[in-house]
Every structure is written in C-alpha cells, then in structure tokens.
Structure 1
C-alpha cells in the first residue's frame, strides 16, 4: 500500500493475538468515552450527542492497535473474527422500518380505488335506505361486486409491489461490495458484510468505506467524498493526524458510506453496521419517502383529471334528477335508481386497468433488465432511458476491455515488440542487475516499472507464474507491474526471480509516494537504494503521460546506461508517441532522477511541495506502449445506438490520438478528416452560430438530418477556451465528438453544458473515480459492475456483466414502457369513457332506458378492460422502435391532441354507434322503433305500445346484454389494431411468429368466458337480471370488430407509404397531413411499402 510516514506501533501495543476479547477502552477525559462496536448506554437524542461520545480519534495509533487487540502486520485471527461476528452480527445497516399500514392504505385507497369506494358507498345507499321499502337486491349485488373489485385491485397492487421489491433485492445482492483486510498475517479480500470491529482494512481510490474506521496509515493526497453523509460536494482531506474533537470533522476518521476520492489508506474498524454514524442516521431518519416516476406522475395527473370529470358528471346527473327529472317526469327514476344510474358515470370514466398497468409495466421491464444483469437502482431511470439523446462514454474499461498489456518498448536506440500472450517469446539481454545506476536500460525500465507502481500482487505466491498471479490495482499499473515482474523473471530463473523479489524489498525502500491522478497525469515514488555495503542514494521514480513529462526531461539513458542530452532524441520519441497513439495504444514515459543533492524536508506537506518543484531534469529510461483492445461487438453496438437517434460521444483522459484511434475502431468517429478546435468558426474568442442552424435545430441542439455528418476532436485544454456560443455551435454542428485529455471537472463540464442546451437527455457511462462527477451530473449514469464503488454509487444503472451491448437493450425497454402505456390508454378510453358513458348520457338526457346496466358496466370495466390492457404490457417492441428519434420528455406526453382525436373521432366513433345500433336493432325487431325508445322517460310502463311491463323489462335486459357482448367483441378488434402502430396485423399476429403475445389470446378467451358466464350463469341471471341473447347477436359484432381492424389497417398502410406521417395520427389527421405534404401516390410506392420489413 502506498502511504506516507506513519506512527509505528510501540512495544506497549504488543499483545496476545490468540485472545478473543479485546481490551476495554481507555478513558481520556474530558472527552466522553464511546466503546467501539457497542451501542451507547443511553440512546443519543440527536447526532451531536452520538458524535460527542466517540473518542477513538483522540488516542495514539499504538493505543488504537492495543485497544482492538490487533496489529498492522497480522490483523485479527480467525478465532477472534468468529467471536466478534457472533457478538455483533454482520456489518449491515438495517433498512428503515417500513410502515406497512401506510402501504396497505395506499393499496386499498390508491389509484382509482377511491372512486370505487365512492361508487360502493353510493350503491349501498341506493339499496338502503333510499331503496326502501322495497330495496332492490340488484343494487346490493353491485355494491358487493364493487367491494370485490377494490379487494382484487388492492391485492394486485400488493403482489406487483412485492415482486418488484424482490427483483430489486435479488439484483442488489449481485453487487455485494468487497473489502481488503489483513487477517492471520495475510491480505484477504472478503465481503464487506463480514468485516468486524478490529479489522485492519486497506482502502484505495474509488473504494467505499465499509465501516467506521480510525486511519492509521494514509497517503499524502488522501481525500474523501462525504457528500452522501454531509451533503457537501467538496473533497475532505484525510490523514493520521487528530485535527478536531468532533468526529465528523477530524481528518483521521473514515466513516461508513463515504468514498476514497484520492489516494489510499489503512484503517482499523471501530464500529460496524447499525453502530456506525451512518447507521444511527438511518435509524433516526425513518422510512424512506417514495418518489413517483415521470410516467407515474403523468398517469397520476391523468387520473386526477379523469376522476374530476367522473365526479362532475355524477354530480350533474344527480342534480338533473333532483331539479328536473324528478319533477318533470315523476316515476321515471326513483332516488335509488338515480343513484345506481349516476354511478355509471364513475365506472364508465374510470380506466381501472391504467394504474395497474403502470405498476406492472415497470416490474416487467425491471425483470427483463435483471435477466440481462442490468441493475436499475430506481424505476425513473427506465423511463429516462427511452428519452436518451446523447451518450457520453468513457474509453478505458467501458468501450475497451480494460485488460491491458505492454506491447511495445522503446529505449534510446532500440524498440521491442512484445508477444501479447507468451512471455517466454520475449528476448532480453543476458546482462542483468538490480541497480538503478549501473544496470542496462532495459533492466532499469523493468526495475522502475516494478518499483513505481500503485498495483500489487495478492498473496505470497512469488513462485506462481506472473501470468497466473492476481494483481490488485488499476489496469494501467497492473499491465506495467506484470511487465516488470515478467521481465525480471525472464532474465533470471524462477528461483532467482523469487530471491530477486526478496532482494528488491531489502534493496529499495519506498519512503514517499504521490499516486497517479487525472490532473497531474503521472505517478511518483521516492525510493532509497541500499546495498550490503551501505546506502547508495535516493531516487525519484516517475511515470506518466509523455506529453506531460517530456518538457521536464533533459536526459536519456543510452545503451551504456549513461545519461546523455535528450534534445537529439526528442523528435524520435515524440514521433513514437504519436505513432503508437494512432494505433490505439496508451503510451507511458518512464523516468528517474537522483535526489542525493536535494534536501528533503521531514514535514510531509513541505516534502510534497519540494518534490513537485523537483520534477525537472528528468532522465528518460524508456517508453511503454500499452494495448487495450475494444470490447467484442462494440462497433455493432455503437451503430445500433446511433441508429436509435442517440449521439455517442467519447470522453476520456487519454491522449487525443489514442482516443481517436479507439473511436474509429468502435464507430464513434466515421468521418476522415475530423475537425479540431482550430476549425471551429470564431469571431475573436466568441463562437459564431452558423446560419444553417434553424430555429428547430437550435431548440433541439442537434445537427439537422439534412446536413452531412461531421466529426470533432477536442482536448481538455480546448474546453477552457470555449464560450457559451461555441458550445451551441458544437452541439448543433457535430454528430461525432471525442473529448480527450479531460479531467473529472472537465467531464462534468461537458455533461452540464450539454444538458443546458435544447431538450437533451444525457447519459454517461464510466467505471472509475474520475467518471463519478459526470455520472452524478448526468440524467442517466451507467456504471460498469467491475468499476469503482464511487462510480457505482453515483450511477443510476449498473451493468453487472460490464456488457456495453446491454445499453441499446435498456434504451429499447425504456422506450417500450412508454409505447405500451400509450397503447393501454388508447385501448381503454374508447370503450370506457365513450361507449360505456353513452348509455348513461342517453338515459339522463334523452329519456331512454339504460342500454347497459350498472352491473354489466362495472363488470366490463373491471374484467375486460383490466385483463385485455394487461396483455398489452407484454407486447414486444415494434420493428421501428430503435429507428425513431428519442422522445422529447418535455413536449411528448402520453396523450396529445392527435391521441384524443384517435380515441373519440376514430376508434370511439366506431365503437359506440355499433353497440348502440345493435341495441336499436334488437328493439326494432321486437316492434319498438327508434322513436318508440327515445324521449320516453316515464312512459315506459305497463301497456306502453301494447306490451306488459314484464315484456318491456325483458326487452331492456336482452338489449343490455347485446350492448355488453357487442363491446366485448369490438374490444377484440380494437386490441388487435392497437398492438402495432405501423405493422400490419397480418405480419404481427399474436398467435405465432416473432411478435407473438400469448397473453392476447389468453385475455380474449378469458373475457369471452366471462361474457358467457354473465349471460348464461343462472345465479347471475337471477341476481343481476342478465339473460341469454339471440344467436345472430353473437355473430354480427364480429363483423363490426373486423371493420375496426380494416379501418386501422388502412391507416397503417398510409403511414407506411408516407413515412413522414406520424404513426399516432388518426385517419382525419392523416388526410390533413397528406393534403399538405404529398400531391399523389405512385403505384410503385404503394406496392413497395405494403409489407414492411421488420428487420
């Protein structure tokens, strides 16, 4: 571990490692004692009380080791670990207690259920007392049915919620965090949940702090991100030094759920799980508040509108009865009957299946994503994925495999090309030594690579071949360490290599280190070289980006290991950097400098400042070319994303030529040549918006589809010079962009500037600490499962299998949620708020008998609507879903004017006349013409048109059943036509083929059986007055359903022939658009687009 000078354990800190019990805490007045790992005797009233009880940060380091019966080299023994685990449990913070009674109330009264409760109460009142002295059992039956509907709906909500929580819990278990601890004298990687009090834990950049710890070793640049704990975004320095009695402010504590943003450290755990500061905060914070997703908010808004309209019409119907019908037509409607009829306003308008489908859809999509090992941390991300318009992707470990290896070496006068997989094929000079001063340049290159390195081998397996040994560290250091070790072992025998490793540790002592960071672009190690004869010197070893280090290089090692002036070699090495970078390789310069004549201060801060100033007069040892191949099928994946209308930008810290080479390999850049900062149009320093940018593209902030594709490559330095209008120009002119040599702040700047312009929804992919700020700032953060803890915490989506090809699948599923919900509304509304409401309207305003009884209305709304709409949620994506432009979340809603015309002037206008026409047809066959059933009011009584009241009531009952069964079959036609917005039903039937949906025929069969049960069930006939209907009224509705299907097939055909016509347009809107856009149709276009290619 890289660390600064730390206090060492004194003799008083030695203890019996076999002891199972640790020493009681030593009191240091006046600070109150907080016994580590145990709850305070008295629960603190607030966080301040808790923090004041902690004193572990005020004691010396050796006392800390003694207090917890551990040591820096041995750690805890297994027996002690077992005892502590049994005593204190797992290192897990308990989830806030769920108030299940609140959830139950939401299930029972949420969604449209509160309207169902109103309908239930009103129907119950219509039975008694308003139905007395002769209450109708029919009303009681409807009330019971409504109560059953509420119970079923609440149960469904609960089941969906339960399954959703199980899915999220299962997938969360797949990203269990790990920690590196010292136990039994060995470094081990364990689950973070198995950490116990007294564990010695090693932390590196990007790690999440798994428990509250006292820092006992720390690198100079140690910084913590405590934003999750404190809400502050500024990084907090860390050290071994006690700086404040306040445990939240002192620098020598690392607290749970914070992150190592820079540097590395070692700490001793003093509290785990619920006993940590974060554990107490969670316990005091109570239950987590649930936030609605975007679609859920839209549906809730839609629900409130529909509910308001339903209640309005219910009130209007009751007021009309009270002030007009009751007085003008006495006997037409009793109070009980008026209430029962007005209830139809509520049940007709309520699309009961909609909230259920919203909950179910997000669960279905979550399950599909989980199957692809994509963790969605919040459901809102699913919807946002469908709106993604820009994807900013990191390069290393995201677009590339992250499996790096040294492929090329350049010395002063020699170059080596290394075999990728077989170290035995590498040839090295026979002359070899372990001296930084006298060994040949290749020996020194291997030595510096081995010594100036932030990675380390795990375990004590020196005799295991290097290619099989596990290395912990970032990919670049891992590749360089493996190269250095292999080089040494290749030049010596395996036994000599083992002895060499031990010799290295005796010969070179690392006294100080500045780890690599994205701002400096280099890493430095200070080592003291010693031989058996004594001290030989202090060396600065430094490796990093050539373009950063070359200005500080004055010498180079020649073939005789002599330092000669670098100027004569500079052009060659600059050319090599550009050549290797153009091949997609990461180029690392390895340098050294003797510090024997430099006075190094003891103070760490002063030492760091001195060393920064001493980065000059470096001696170049050699160049390393590191190969990191693109992921498999990456080019095809990028192509799919771009075809979906999403621009893919590369944002990386790598050299620009390396970034461009990889960008070309994966298809992010397809144009050659590409523009750079000097090609941007400028007027002085202020960018000028090109005239070609129209108002539309300025709003969208994307290039026009008619403009040629252009590519741009910018560096981090270029970004510092950009004005606001330059960003406008960049985002409206260029489709392909690479941002190279960027640091974390610049990555975040790119995201912020992109989000500001137009209606862009920006996604960011990354895996490292450097990507975390951009991930957090984006609309959708996507982290790799193997990435740092910081990146995974900042992201909203995690690709557990590191499979970049899961991103287009996630985009498609995000779009599918919105698509299917639109289909559900389009399916529910025509028959619900239209065809079901017309009978109520006709009864109240036109004096007709009720064409659809309240029972059949409720039954249709709850069974047919819900069952059939749920089947739509299992629809597959339409063939062109990934060829559409991303949805604009601000302007494209679930419903718009075209949508309502489609509902009320297209499908709805066919449904209710067909159903009402069937009712009039039956009445006419019984001798009651249109004028005999309209404006009748209270004339419908015994003797009307020569019929007894029993005959008239029978006619009404049969007519109501005909109306009901007609709606059932009309829904079949509506469902089949709504399944696809463009593709013909003949090419996408639900029964077989790639677009089959078995839920559709199951739903059809289920609703048909319910219809038969309603008409022929003897119990239902007696209770609700239903009856059988003549055979031909079973057949005619099929023709009407076919007519709906044919009409919509005509609309689809026109949409396919005229691609610019919106698929959501209805027939009226289509012909309006045709009149404006196209004068005629050619037979060739008609024939060429009748049957589309689904791809």
Structure 2
C-alpha cells in the first residue's frame, strides 16, 4: 500500500513542467521577419495605388473614376504582393527539413531552421553528444595502486573465476558496489548469442532454464535448432552457472563477448555492469545481497546509495551494509577512513587525501570520468524502515574504498565539427557534469580549447558551483570568450546560462536529454533534444538529434544558413519585377503613353512564369564560404534595407529600362516616333479614340489597338525574359556564378525552360495572347532584352566581386544584402 503525499504541480516533475510550460511560446525569427515584410507591403501597396490613382486622375480626368480606381489598385496590389511567396518559402522549409532528416535531425517546427542558421552559441552536453557514449571502465585505483584493466585472475582455477569471494577487500567490495549499487541491467528481451568456442553457442534468455555446468557435459545439453553448424545451449542467466571453459583463453574470449551484450541504463552504470560481469557473477551477487533501501542517482547530489541486509543477529537486530557510488570528489567528503590492500581501515588524513586527489587529477587529465565507492557496516533493527527525508541512515563517517576510471572517447567527427563551427564564428560551450580536470582534458582532445599561450585568452573553464555567484561583469567576460567549458553543472544552471546569454543578445542553441533539462531547452532560442533522451525533453525541444551527434548540430546550422540565404535569393529574384510591372502602368499615368501592361499580364507572371524559378531556388546549393562567415547580426532581416535598395531601387529600374526599350521597338518597327507618344493616350490607343499620325503614317483605331497589344507583350517579354537572366545572378549572394556553377542547380535550368515555354505560349499562341491583351512580337524584342540583361548580369558579377574584395567598405556595403 502506498501513500500519496504530493500531486500535480506540487511534485518535482510538476514543478519542472510548470517551469517549462509557464514560459511564453517562442516565435521564430523567420516568422517575425515574414510578418514584418507583410506589414510593410500592407502599407506600401495601398500607398502606391493611391498615388497612382491620383496621378492618373490628374492626367486623364475623373470621368471614369471607377475604372481608374480598379486599374490603379489592382495592378499595384498584384505587382507589389508576391503571390507565390508563401508557397515558395514553404517549399524551401520542406526541402531543408528533408535534408536534415537524412542527417538524423528532426525538426519539430520547420521555421526553426532559420534560427539555427543565426546561432552564435552552441551549448552542448559532453556525454553522448561530443563523445561516443560508449563508456568502458579502464582502471581501478585502490590504496594508491592503479589496476589497469581487470584484477588478476590467472592464479585461480577456472571454477573460481566468477566467484566474488575470489577477490579480497577492497577489490571485492568495489565489484559488489558495481553490481548492486547499479540500476543498469542486461537486456534479456533481446536474443543475445555468446560464442564460447567453436562447438556451441549459448543463447541467453530470462525465461529459459539452466542446464549444464561444464564443457565435458556438452553431449547431455538440451539441443535446440542448429544454426551455422553450431549447437545452442540455453541458460536462465549467464551468472547462474559455472561456465564450461576449457582454457583461460576461452574465458578471455567470453569476457570480450560479454562486453558487447546490450544493456539498459545510464551509460556509466552500463560500463560498470559490464566490467563487473566479466569478473564476477553479478546475478548471484544481486540475489545474495538484497537491497532494502535505495536512493537513486540524480544530477544534484551526484551519488547513488543502497543498503543491503547482510545477516540477522540476535535480539531482532540485523547487520546492514551501506554502499555509495558517485562523484569521487563528493563521496570523499563523507568519509573519514580509507581501506588499504591489507583490508585495513586507516584514517583518511591529509596524506591519503593528497594521494586520492593526485589519482583523480591524473585520470581527469586523461579524459576519464572518475567514480568513487564508499561503504559502511552498521547494526540496526531487523524491521527498521529507512527514509530518505528523515535521513535515518549513515551519511558521514564512511569508509572510502577506491575509484574506477571510465573512458568515453570523443566521436571521430567531433573535432572537425567544432573547427567548422569556429570557422563560422560560432562559439562552443561544453556543459558537463564531469569534474574540472576531466572536462578540460576532453575539451583539449576535441580542439575546443588550446593551451598555447597565444590562445588562452579565447577560452575559460568555469565550475557549476560558481555559476550562481557570477556578476554581471563576469557574464559579460564569459560571453566574449570563443569557447567555454562548464564543469559539474546542474540542469538549473543550464537555464541560467541560457538566460544570461540571451540578455546579451546572443542566439543560443542548448542541448539536453533529461526531464530537468526541459526548462533550458524551452527557454533557449533553439532547444536541441536527444533521440535517446526523455519524452519531456523532446517535447520542450525545437529539434531532435536522432543520433545524439554534435556534428549534426553543425550540419543543421549550415542548412539553416542556406535556408536563410535561399529565401533572401528568392526575394532578390521575385521583388524587382514589381518595379517593372508598376512602370508599365506609370508611363500611362505619368506620360500619357500607351499602356504597357494590365492586371491579367501581371497575374500571368506572378502566378505563372515566376513560380517555377522560385521553387527551383529551394534546391540551390551552398556557396563555398557559407561556413566561413560569422553569424549574421541580430538586427539583420531577410528583407533588409540593402535588399530593398537592390530590388525596388537600382535593379528594378535597370530591368524597367530593358522593358521600355523592348516596348519602344514595337513603335519604331511601325515607323512611330517615341516623342509622338507623349500624352497620345488621351485621345488615341483606345476603342473610342481617333486616328493617330506619326512620321506621315496614319493609324486607324484597330491598328492602334493591335500595336498597343504588341507593346504590352513586348513589355511582358522584357520582364519575364529579363528575369530568366536575372535568375542566374540571384542564385548567389557573394560567389561568382562562374565558380558557383551555372548548372549546379538542375532545377533552375528546368525552371528556366518551363518559364520560356510559358512565355512563348502567352505571347504567340492565338486566343491566349488575345485573352491576356497581347500579340506576337518580333524577334528583335528578345534580342534587345537579352543583350541588356547580359549587361545586368555582369554588373552583378562586379558587385559581388567588390563585396568579396572589400566587404567592409561603406560604399560597397550599400550594395551588399
């Protein structure tokens, strides 16, 4: 029977959940920027439409004000609002999500990829993210003696190899602690095969019965189906029998195979379980030493405690043994004695502590995680109930047994990934629960810090216990470091790191895998959960690394930068034609010339010819220096002032000139002087107009309407055909297209072909061109636009060269977006 003492938000889990869910929902930077751009257009489009209507009314009068109103607002609104923007931006996000999926990165929100691209800090766990999370016990330290590998066994008979009593204290006590004070266990649900020798294979399964003990009894073993010519023998547990080794070499082979068995639990617990299982009978040790009380490990106390009942004494008393395992520097403070190799409990004086600290520092400098072990025996009532809150168990005066060193090697790709991030101007924070020396050693191995005197000012190592004491100035100093290592940190301190960095306008990505990490993950600009982590952490995170690999974060940042640039390239491609479309109506309103475009032509471009190139921009590859540039500044938007100047300023007007020349050629080809077109639309170029005369040629109303339709199509050719050339300029922001590659994006080539086919249909197919208000145009219109657009292309090449050559020049920065 259990007693409920807390529920809901009053529980620890509830408090963490409240801290996580109580934070306001995050809006992505992309969402904010797109929203800003939409608001900008909502102001710009009506303003331009109103100005156009007023100018048109002053020029043509207000007699037909309804037509004037509809024409002005329809053309201006359609021209300025990129109708295909939402579809193309969504396509870009989807393509990025698919790319990241192939790299084992799951985006919970598509738009979070943009924030990844702007990340300035990555605060990463060490274990499993920077390292392989394949932990192995490499050494034991007892009484200032280092045991490399396993305790010696070659002096014992094979029948004694898996007996705990084979070893003497404190070795036997440490092995017992590894077996009993341990939450890990082998995964019995999986069919694990361990080859003892070439004659048979043992299949381990919890539900199968134990049969046999020695190799010479093999003929009497229960035989199962043969596989690969090997007879299989079943056992309830590998620990419940004396294994039938015929030689010590076979035992070593068995021990190697045991280390590869799948197990469940924390990585360090699994490492100690496998270490002990290769030396003693873990199952028997657990059965003969039942645990009567346990305090599990957590990141705050950094130790685990179990109490086992050794035997019943007289007068209803019992002898208990308390075993603790955890952070060695914390456990040593609870001890006043240490056991030596002669099984003697000697005072833990300054000399003994100095030996311990030297050993821990040596292991730490090798990048090892050091786990300490302590115990104490005591007598208490046989039916005594231990309680964590009451603290009715020994907490001081323990006997220190020794330590084990656990190796967790860095991932092979971690060093290169960190170098790539550093080259990209991204600062790396390693946040770990390991002690100072271990954290520093791993940081050196992966290239996070460099001991060279010239580089020592670029990094710093801080202890978790000091984080709450840091002043505003201290945080400012840390925020300026290129690399930071935080040792012995707790999840609460992770949240504090995030908050302090955000106060300094830093975009931070934080990794975490536990329930306690969820507030920091929720608070960070980009919360990065681990695929092997808890569900609460995954729910709080924005992205999930299915392979728990730091290199995947670097790849995600690269994709985020590409996504940002591709959206910017999309804007740079789509927005300029708004100016050319507006000039098509402005030359009519301002100069009284024949109208150069209409709402149907504008719609055919915005919802037709412009869509394929926009979608093709989704597949635009990286520019070669994308990870060599620093993260963009916080205030830098997708639609920046420089981009507006490029699209609505000089480039839009340059393209409008090409359209105007193509438009003028139609009139020249009919022998009409352009000067004669000034204010001619007041009386001509309409169904109820009069004959028009120029250069001695008189044109009837029908001829005028046909020529005007040709001029409309010529302007359309100027916009669309010019945009085909502009697409190649827009496909790179800094890199020359001769280096980036004209054919590096096959989708763009296909899009240009489709765009060209659609334009030919709109201009030359009878019925369609008449419906749009156009007519076939001569080939020279195409030639004029092509020559002029090639000139614009080389203008952009010169602009990009200047950006690469003089990136900080104030004049060049005006043309850099």
* Same fold by TM-score greater than 0.5: yes
Please say if residues 338 and 401 of structure 2, whose CA atoms lie closer than 8 Å, have aligned partners that are also in contact: yes
Alignment match of 1:483 (pick from 275, 296, 310) = 275
Correspondence for 1:754: 501
Alignment match of 1:305 (pick from 19, 36, 40) = 40
Question: How far did residue 909 of structure 1 move?
Answer: 2.2
Question: How far did residue 227 of structure 1 move?
Answer: 5.6
1:525 maps onto 2:306 in alignment: yes
Question: CA 1:969–1:580 in structure 2 vs 1: closer, same or farther (change >3 Å)?
Answer: same
Question: CA 1:458–1:762 in structure 2 vs 1: closer, same or farther (change >3 Å)?
Answer: same
1:230-629 superposed matches below 5 A: 231=18, 293-318=28-53, 325-326=60-61, 336=67, 339-340=70-71, 343-412=74-143, 414-418=145-149, 439-459=168-188, 460=206, 461-463=236-238, 466-488=258-280, 497=281, 501-502=283-284, 504-505=285-286, 507-530=288-311, 537-567=319-349, 568-596=351-379, 602=385, 604-605=387-388, 608-611=390-393, 614-629=394-409
Please say if residues 982 and 1055 of structure 1, whose CA atoms lie closer than 8 Å, have aligned partners that are also in contact: yes
- Hey, what's the Cα distance between the residues in 2 that align with 1:427 and 1:576? 27
Structure 1, unaligned runs of 5 or more = 1-5, 8-56, 60-212, 216-221, 236-288, 489-496, 675-706, 1071-1095
Question: CA 1:1000–1:1065 in structure 2 vs 1: closer, same or farther (change >3 Å)?
Answer: farther
Please say if residues 319 and 380 of structure 2, whose CA atoms lie closer than 8 Å, have aligned partners that are also in contact: no
Correspondence for 1:269: none
If the length of structure 1 is used for normalisation, what is the TM-score? 0.63
Correspondence for 1:225: 13
Please say if residues 353 and 870 of structure 1, whose CA atoms lie closer than 8 Å, have aligned partners that are also in contact: no
Alignment match of 2:584 (pick from 839, 858, 865) = 839
Please say if residues 906 and 1066 of structure 1, whose CA atoms lie closer than 8 Å, have aligned partners that are also in contact: no
Alignment match of 1:1019 (pick from 764, 767, 779) = 767
- Cα deviation, 1:1048-1095, whole Å, max 9, x if unaligned, reads 11112222222434898455x89xxxxxxxxxxxxxxxxxxxxxxxxx
Question: CA 1:800–1:843 in structure 2 vs 1: closer, same or farther (change >3 Å)?
Answer: same
Correspondence for 1:969: 721
- Hey, what's the Cα distance between the residues in 1 that align with 2:156 and 2:347? 24
Question: CA 1:1061–1:981 in structure 2 vs 1: closer, same or farther (change >3 Å)?
Answer: farther
Question: How far did residue 444 of structure 1 move?
Answer: 2.1
1:981 maps onto 2:733 in alignment: yes
- Hey, what's the Cα distance between the residues in 2 that align with 1:475 and 1:868? 50
Alignment match of 1:863 (pick from 577, 601, 608) = 608
- Cα deviation, 1:889-946, whole Å, max 9, x if unaligned, reads 3x10122322222123331121111211222233133232122101223231333212
Alignment match of 2:421 (pick from 629, 641, 649) = 641
- Hey, what's the Cα distance between the residues in 1 that align with 2:421 and 2:95? 23
- Cα deviation, 1:694-719, whole Å, max 9, x if unaligned, reads xxxxxxxxxxxxx9852211112222
1:793 maps onto 2:574 in alignment: no
Question: How far did residue 228 of structure 1 move?
Answer: 8.4
Question: CA 1:472–1:443 in structure 2 vs 1: closer, same or farther (change >3 Å)?
Answer: same
Correspondence for 2:211: none
Please say if residues 846 and 934 of structure 1, whose CA atoms lie closer than 8 Å, have aligned partners that are also in contact: yes
- Hey, what's the Cα distance between the residues in 1 that align with 2:68 and 2:677? 19
Alignment match of 1:1006 (pick from 730, 737, 754) = 754
1:578-727 superposed matches below 5 A: 578-596=361-379, 602=385, 604-605=387-388, 608-611=390-393, 614-672=394-452, 709-727=457-475
> Match of 1:809, SS?
helix
- Hey, what's the Cα distance between the residues in 1 that align with 2:155 and 2:503? 55
- Hey, what's the Cα distance between the residues in 1 that align with 2:374 and 2:82? 72
1:1046-1061 superposed matches below 5 A: 1046-1061=794-809
Question: How far did residue 1039 of structure 1 move?
Answer: 0.4
Please say if residues 434 and 447 of structure 1, whose CA atoms lie closer than 8 Å, have aligned partners that are also in contact: no
Please say if residues 75 and 582 of structure 2, whose CA atoms lie closer than 8 Å, have aligned partners that are also in contact: yes
- Cα deviation, 1:579-611, whole Å, max 9, x if unaligned, reads 0111001111111111126999636256x4132
Question: CA 1:433–1:954 in structure 2 vs 1: closer, same or farther (change >3 Å)?
Answer: closer
- Hey, what's the Cα distance between the residues in 2 that align with 1:590 and 1:751? 34
- Cα deviation, 1:379-412, whole Å, max 9, x if unaligned, reads 2321211111111111112211111111001222
Please say if residues 555 and 565 of structure 1, whose CA atoms lie closer than 8 Å, have aligned partners that are also in contact: yes
Please say if residues 538 and 595 of structure 1, whose CA atoms lie closer than 8 Å, have aligned partners that are also in contact: yes
Question: How far did residue 471 of structure 1 move?
Answer: 2.4
Correspondence for 1:939: 683
1:870-889 superposed matches below 5 A: 870-889=615-634
> Match of 1:632, SS?
coil
Question: How far did residue 860 of structure 1 move?
Answer: 1.9
- Hey, what's the Cα distance between the residues in 2 that align with 1:746 and 1:548? 18
1:743-782 superposed matches below 5 A: 743-757=490-504, 759-782=505-528
Correspondence for 1:904: 648
- Cα deviation, 1:464-501, whole Å, max 9, x if unaligned, reads 7643543221111111122222221xxxxxxxx4xx83
Please say if residues 515 and 524 of structure 1, whose CA atoms lie closer than 8 Å, have aligned partners that are also in contact: yes
Question: How far did residue 523 of structure 1 move?
Answer: 1.3
- Hey, what's the Cα distance between the residues in 1 that align with 2:336 and 2:27? 61
Question: CA 1:291–1:458 in structure 2 vs 1: closer, same or farther (change >3 Å)?
Answer: closer
> Match of 1:642, SS?
helix
Please say if residues 144 and 356 of structure 2, whose CA atoms lie closer than 8 Å, have aligned partners that are also in contact: no
> Match of 2:391, SS?
helix
> Match of 2:639, SS?
coil
